[in-house]
Amino acid sequence: MIPDARQRREAVLTSGHAFVWASAGTGKTHTLTLRALYLLLTAPFDSRAQRTECRLLYGGASRAERLRAARAVLRRFVLTTFTR
């Protein structure tokens, strides 16, 4: 079991913005990568995304619609990692 598993889960599954502050080698990049995947998988079902192109990510009629939706989802979040 990871000692900070609860905090990692919260960082990945939070519906709002997430800020991860940790030392080098603690898994920030891994946690934020999981967050990105979570957002991509849930974006079309997020009530805030229903009035945007994001809703077409998995249900778009054409490949072009799905690509536009994927770009819209990606614009919704920024992932940055750095260490001191």
List per-residue pLDDT tens for the chain, 84 residues long: 567 788 888 878 876 677 777 788 888 888 888 888 887 777 766 777 677 777 787 788 899 998 888 888 777 776 666 666
Residues whose CB falls within 8 Å of the CB of residue 21, separated by 6 or more in sequence, listed in order: none
Buried b / exposed e over 38-64, threshold 16 CB at 10 Å, is ebbeebbeeeebeebbbbbbeebeeee
Domain-wise residue ranges, the chain: 27-84
